Amino acid sequence: MASARDIRLRIRSVQSIYKITNAMDMIAAARLRRAQERAATSFPYGVTVVRTISSMIASCNDIVDHPFLVKRPPERVAFVVISSDKGLAGAYNSNLFKEVLKHIATAEEELAKLSSPDVRLTKVGGRRIKRSAGTTQRADRKIAGGEFLDDAIAMLSEKSRSAEVCLFTVGKKATQYFKKRNYNVLREYTGFSERPSFGDASRIARDVIEGYLAELYDEVYIVATRFHSPVRTNPLTIQVLPVEKRTDVGDIEHNMIFTPDAESVFEYLMPRYVEVLLFAALTQSSASELGSRMTAMGAATDNAKELISQLTLNYNKVRQAAITNELAEIVAGAEALK
């Protein structure tokens, strides 16, 4: 049996843990309300934007040459993985990574079936990028050719675990997880997982769009966490590019009038479409992270409180046993002196 001193030291350590988990629980609960409000407003807005874009596509079928609408032969798939910067959020990150790995495995399997040995090099924006011979469509847009493209092309030219999949990681946890497993992390974004802004979504969208127009990848997916309640969240995968032509948009207006013309309207709205989807995913993930952390820290606080009670009871038993032994020794000594 442990000594009274050992139990007392353990009680102090558990009390320190209790103070930390209780503080994190209260902080997460305080931040969750605002994050929950943003998530509740941004998600319906994102759904409305998707329905609106779908309505525009259905009412203007002649805009099929826009690069965001053209479905290219898939040779490489990009995933935007939205995780947390901090840990202690229960199974929030692990569930997300399982979802990502499942889709990566599916993408690798599908792309392996479509792979062809006939490969050529195509210049895009002054750079030589690996493309298949069957790819004839290319985004006829001005490529910025900035720092992102330079870094991305250099990374994709190196030998890695999977040449068919590349990642944009939001949050330190996703960056650490996938870099450790030697995936192509084209760009990492950290420092705002709990409090994302629309500017953060615009920055991510700018890099994603730039790489898509340069044909570094042919499909883009967002993997985030859908918030339902602090105790109920689930990973969610959304295809961002190319924009799917949906038919389940309900009663839509097929006779829209575009001013000045449909091409100019699509040219402006399509980048906003990506930004809105990213912002909705960021706010959903933020609320999910805080809710998961509040739930996990609440459970940890309750467990620490229960453990402190058990240790205190054991400490009292050990101390009482020591006092009883001392009294017995005193009585025995007094009897021996008679």
pLDDT band with cut points at 50, 70 and 90 for residue 140: very low
pLDDT, average across residues 291-306: 89
Distances (CA, A) of 147 to 63, 144, 191: 31, 9, 21
Q: Which fold has domain 8-301?
A: Pyruvate Kinase; Chain: A, domain 1 (3.40.1380)
Residue 42 or residue 289, greater confidence: 289
Q: What is the pTM of this model?
A: 0.78
pLDDT digits (tens, 9 = 90+) for 184-206: 888 899 988 888 988 999 999 99
pLDDT band with cut points at 50, 70 and 90 for residue 172: very high
* Tokens read off for 98: 């399982």
Cβ-in-10-Å burial (0-12, 13-18, 19+) of 325 comes to exposed
Cβ-in-10-Å burial (0-12, 13-18, 19+) of 11 comes to middle
- As a whole number of Å, the end-to-end CA separation of the chain is 35
Q: What is the pLDDT of residue 79?
A: 93
* Tokens read off for 187: 């760009």
Residue 92 or residue 149, greater confidence: 92
Give the C-alpha separation, 183 to 175, whole Å: 10
Among 51-60, 109-118, 223-232, 240-249, the least confident range:
109-118
pLDDT band with cut points at 50, 70 and 90 for residue 252: low
Among 160-174, 188-202, 218-232, the least confident range:
160-174
pLDDT band with cut points at 50, 70 and 90 for residue 6: confident
Distances (CA, A) of 81 to 10, 58, 142, 195, 290: 40, 30, 27, 16, 17
Q: Which residues of 143-162 are buried (b: 16+ CB within 10 A; e: fewer)?
A: beeeebbeebbeebeeeeeb
pLDDT digits (tens, 9 = 90+) for 44-75: 888 888 787 777 777 776 555 678 887 887 78
pLDDT digits (tens, 9 = 90+) for 299-325: 889 899 999 888 888 888 888 887 888
Give the C-alpha separation, 202 to 205, whole Å: 5
Q: What is the pLDDT of residue 257?
A: 72
